Amino acid sequence: MCKTEKLYRSTSWTLKYITGDLFSCPRDESLAHCISEDCRMGAGIAVMFKKKFGRVSELKDQKKLPGQCAVLAHDQRFIYYLVNIPWLIILHRTRVGSLFNLVTVSFLLCVSDHKEKSQPETHI
């Protein structure tokens, strides 16, 4: 069940702040949420949007950049996908842990061999 908490009106639009089950709202009310630039939708409410509305390839085909909005028409409503996370940040998030682990392991191996990191290999 949805419950309207706040209402904002203009001459041409109305914005409602709603709490509750977003997906039980009337089918003629548009929905919006934030996604990353790669349209993966792998966490949070984005996962539910992906399961409910699908059509990820259509979103990707729109090639929206951070600060832009992809839109899908669904029945009597529109689903707005606000792109707010750049692809490079996603790439950084997935690789920084691996890089950190690599550097840490390399350092520990150097220490365990009693060598300085800058010392070259001297034996054959």
| Rounded mean pLDDT, 110-117 | 46
pLDDT above 50 for 6? yes
Per-residue model confidence as pLDDT tens digits over 30-41? 888 888 888 888
- With CA atoms as reference, report the closest residue to 36 among 75, 2, 67: 67
Residue type, 64: K
Look at residue 5 and tell me whether its pLDDT is greater than 90: no
List the chain domain ranges.
2-85, 87-124
CATH number for the domain whose boundaries are 2-85? 3.40.220.10
pLDDT digits (tens, 9 = 90+) for 47-101: 999 999 999 999 999 998 888 889 999 988 898 998 886 655 545 554 545 555 5
